[in-house]
Amino acid sequence: ETGVTQSPTHLIKTRGQQVTLRCSSQSGHNTVSWYQQALGQGPQFIFQYYREEENGRGNFPPRFSGLQFPNYSSELNVNALELDDSALYLCASSSDRDSGNTIYFGEGSWLTVV
Amino acid sequence: GQNIDQPTEMTATEGAIVQINCTYQTSGFNGLFWYQQHAGEAPTFLSYNVLDGLEEKGRFSSFLSRSKGYSYLLLKELQMKDSASYLCAVNRDDKIIFGKGTRLHILP
């Protein structure tokens, strides 16, 4: 148990729909990063939120957006879903006060787009 | 994965030793992680190297050479449960960037 919880764990959406994924970070952690992991691939960095502001973004289109709330929990929103968005979405939380090895992953949200 | 290279697949025998190599671009480098990921599960932390050298943790060891942009994960006394993907990941400007992972198959 890492203390990072994600919801929902599994969901199925139709192409063109929108989805919101949620992440509650480890207590005391102020940074949340989101990753997309397609089958057979390594996780790809989507973006990071630090103290409610976006703090770096990977090579993902604007239809991938996010939020971080005052309690440091976070949401990932994906609009206009495409079939290739089917993947495991991972949330990782960390703190700027800790060394790099205190980064904790949630169990992920499995998204299937049909 | 942003020039983080590791072999796609490896096969080893139960009880043996296997070394999984990883090379990376050194710009913005803060440290290097190794994660284990079983099929259908999230990655779990194995090691984090910041300084050059070998760090041993039970059956698993991780080595880093910052000047060469090179790391390896060494797994000893392989067990069937070690069948998994092993992800090399670089802490670059406080973002973790992953390689594509190495699928390790253990034969009895």
- Per-residue b/e over B38-76, b at no fewer than 16 CB within 10 Å? eeeebbebbbbbeeeeeeeeeebbbbbebeebebbbebe
Split at pLDDT 50, 70, 90, the class of B7 is very high
Are A91 and A4 in contact by the 8 Å Cβ rule? The answer is: yes
pLDDT of residue A101: 63
For residue A29, what pLDDT is reported? 86
Phi, psi values for residue A84, rounded to 5°: -70, -10
Question: Would you give the distance in Å from CA B15 to the centre of its chain?
Answer: 19
Q: Show which residues on chain B lie within 8 Å of chain A, measured between beta carbons.
A: 1, 30-31, 33, 41-45, 48, 50, 87, 89, 91, 93-101
- DSSP code per residue over A95-107: -TTS-TT--EE--
List residues of chain A with CB under 8 Å from any CB of chain B: 33, 35, 41-45, 48, 56, 88, 90, 92, 96, 99-101, 103-108
Find out whether B37 and B101 touch, Cβ atoms under 8 Å.
yes
Which residue is listed with tokens 């630090």? A50
Residue B36 has pLDDT above 80, yes or no: yes
Q: What share of chain A is helix, strand, coil (3-state, %, to 5)?
A: 5, 50, 45
Chain A residues with CB-CB distance to B91 below 8 A: 100
With H, G, I as helix, E, B as strand and everything else as coil, classify residue B15. Answer: coil
Residues of A in contact with B97 (CB under 8 A): 45
The per-residue pLDDT for A3 is: 85
Q: Decide if pLDDT at B1 tops 60.
A: no
Angstroms from A77 CA to nearest CA on chain B: 20
Residues near B18 by beta carbon (within 8 Å), at least 6 away in sequence: B10, B12, B74, B75, B78, B104
Residues B95, A107: C-beta atoms closer than 8 Å: no
A109: closest chain B residue by CA: B42
pLDDT on residue B21: 98
Sign of CA dihedral B82, B74, B7, B96: positive
pLDDT in tens, A43-60: 999 999 998 999 999 999
Residue labelled with tokens 């190297």 = B49
Is A103 in contact with B45 (CB distance < 8 Å)?
A: yes
Contact yes or no for A100 and B30 at CB 8 A: yes
Chain A closest-CA separation from residue B72 CA (Å): 17
CB–CB of A101 and B48 under 8 A?
A: yes
In contact, B61 and B54? CB cutoff 8 Å: yes
